[in-house]
Amino acid sequence: MIAPADDAVRLDSVTEITWTQLVSASGLPEDELRELVRYGALVPRDPDAPAWTFESRWLVVARTASRLRHDFELDPHGLCVVLGFVERIERLEAEVRALRALLG
């Protein structure tokens, strides 16, 4: 019997994940993830809400954080600085791609 195909889910600004899902999928301890929120490296939809929810794209950032944390043995503050650089690189790469698309 052929197994049915599973849906691959987008990690974008439309779909939403809960704090518990983010913690469980990120690979980081909850207290470190909370520090990343405090330093602004991860942004809940409503920071004042009693239960945080996030755009699912933050899961990609959280997993990158987990990888960088492990591979470079970074503390949460250093991790935030590196994540800021990674985000900036990605934004610049997106601009380069957009310009290439425009210029041919």
Partner 1 sequence: MKYKDYYAVLGIARDASADEIKTSYRRLARKYHPDVSKEKDAEEKFKEMAEAYETLKDPEKRAAYDQLGSHTPGQDFRPPPDWGQHFAQGRGGFDDVDLADLFAGLSGQRGRAGGRRADHPLPGSDYEAVVRLTFDQAFHGTEVDLELSALEWDPDGGMRRVPHRVKTRIPRGVSDGEKLRVPGKGGKGVNGGPDGDLYLDIDVEAHPLYRMSGRDLYVDLPLAPWESVLGTNVNLPTPGGTVALKVPAGTRAGQHLRLSGRGIARGSGAAGNLYAIVRIEVQSVLDDRQRALYKELSEISNFNPRAQLEQEAAR
Helix, coil or strand: residue 59: helix
Closer CB to partner 1, residue 4 or residue 50? 4
CA dihedral 55, 22, 78, 35 (to 10 degrees): 100
What residues make contact with partner 1 under the rule CB under 8 A? 2-12, 14, 24-25, 27, 56, 59-60, 63-64, 67-68, 71-72, 82, 85-86, 89, 97-98, 100-102, 104
In whole angstroms, the minimum distance from the beta carbon of 76 to partner 1 comes to: 17
In whole angstroms, the minimum distance from the beta carbon of 2 to partner 1 comes to: 8
Cα(76)–Cα(48) distance, rounded to whole angstroms?
Answer: 22
Closer CB to partner 1, residue 45 or residue 88? 88
By the 8 A CB rule, do 6 and 47 touch?
Answer: no
